[in-house]
Amino acid sequence: MAPLERLDDAYRYCEGLVRDHDRDRWLADGLLPDDKRRHAFAIHAFSYEAARIRESIHEAMPGEIRLQWWIDAIEGEARGDVAGHPVAATLIDTIRRFSLRRSGFVNLLEARRFDLYDDAMPTLNDLEGYAGETASVLFLEVAQVLCGGADPKAADAAGHAGVAYALTGLMRALPIHARRNQVYLPADLLKAAGIEPDDVRHGRKAEELAGVLANLRDGATSHLDKALSAFAEIDPRARPAFLPLAFVRPYLAALAKTPVYGPVAEIAAWRKPLILWWFGRRL
């Protein structure tokens, strides 16, 4: 196959990956302009690949090696046929086409090192920093793709958007993370509520934990509101990059009604296109 045909196949692979494993972002990306959509799929497929490394390993070292492979690939130092990896090929193509910051993707990978270990997140500030590196960057880079260049005013919106989106997702995934001995809830907030990280890992002190989660939901709502307020200042072409935020408030409402240790809070699948349509009208 010709190189362009291989690249087209790689972009289609990324779309399938996002569709199967990150349905909310896939729905939102489907509403982007035709000529930009596949680049959003590439960015979000890369995010999924980085996020799932923990699931595919039994100890940290293989995960460290995999993260370093990605860092080298993005920085242009990887050995082997990087072009043969569909997600790496499309991400690098997208970075080059739109002059995206390689450092943002590298920082995402560095932040994902936390996932490889069983340490609790130390503080709320650390959690928000992790959210910024792993989720805010995605909003910002997709916004740049849509604008065809950097929009400095989009950074503030992306910062708050990423924290709101990531906090919501981490709270939803709490039952899954607890079974893997992972604790993303800040240790300082847990300690103030009389909870130890091991209590979370073993499903204890649900009542006390409910109070911590209520405070985190309030924090996510605050960041969401700040992101929405910042929309007025950004390039209108960049605003569809923030469509995944449509799901934050409904998920937070579902979390408030769901036991802290599961099941995973969900939104009915039939509601999601309606939620996106309503949110999109406000952009």
Name the DSSP class of 121.
P
What local confidence, expressed as pLDDT, does residue 183 receive?
97
Token readout for 256 is: 């408030």
At 81, is the pLDDT very low, low, confident or very high (cuts 50, 70, 90)? low
Assess whether pLDDT exceeds 80 at residue 118: yes
- What is the phi/psi pair of residue 183, to 5°? -130, 105
Render pLDDT for 229-269 as a digit per residue (tens, 0 to 9). 999 889 999 999 999 999 999 999 999 999 999 999 999 99
* Nearest residue to 209 via CA among 179, 181, 178: 178
What local confidence, expressed as pLDDT, does residue 261 receive?
96
What local confidence, expressed as pLDDT, does residue 99 receive?
94
Read off the pLDDT of each residue in 17-37 and give the average, rounded to a whole number: 97
Assess whether pLDDT exceeds 60 at residue 2: no
At 29, is the pLDDT very low, low, confident or very high (cuts 50, 70, 90)? very high
Percent of the chain with pLDDT over 90: 89
What local confidence, expressed as pLDDT, does residue 20 receive?
98
Residue whose entry in the numeric block shows the structure tokens 């729905």: 27
Read off the pLDDT of each residue in 105-130 and give the average, rounded to a whole number: 97
Give residue limits of the domains in the chain: 1-117, 118-283
What local confidence, expressed as pLDDT, does residue 277 receive?
95
DSSP 187-254: HHHHHHTT--HHHHHTT--HHHHHHHHHHHHHHHHHHHHHHHHHGGGS-GGGGGGGGGGGGHHHHHHH
Assess whether pLDDT exceeds 60 at residue 1: no
Render pLDDT for 148-207 as a digit per residue (tens, 0 to 9). 777 778 999 999 999 999 999 999 999 999 999 999 999 999 999 999 999 999 999 999
What local confidence, expressed as pLDDT, does residue 80 receive?
59
Average pLDDT, the chain: 94
CA atoms within 13 A on the CB side of 226: 17
Read off the pLDDT of each residue in 50-62 and give the average, rounded to a whole number: 91
Read off the pLDDT of each residue in 217-224 and give the average, rounded to a whole number: 98
Assess whether pLDDT exceeds 80 at residue 41: yes
What local confidence, expressed as pLDDT, does residue 65 receive?
95
What local confidence, expressed as pLDDT, does residue 79 receive?
59
Instruction: Give residue 200's region: left, alpha or beta (phi > 0; psi -120 to 50).
Output: alpha
At 5, is the pLDDT very low, low, confident or very high (cuts 50, 70, 90)? confident
What local confidence, expressed as pLDDT, does residue 77 receive?
62
Encoded amino acid at 231, one letter: F
118-283: which CATH topology?
Farnesyl Diphosphate Synthase (1.10.600)
What local confidence, expressed as pLDDT, does residue 148 receive?
78
What local confidence, expressed as pLDDT, does residue 3 receive?
61
Encoded amino acid at 238, one letter: A
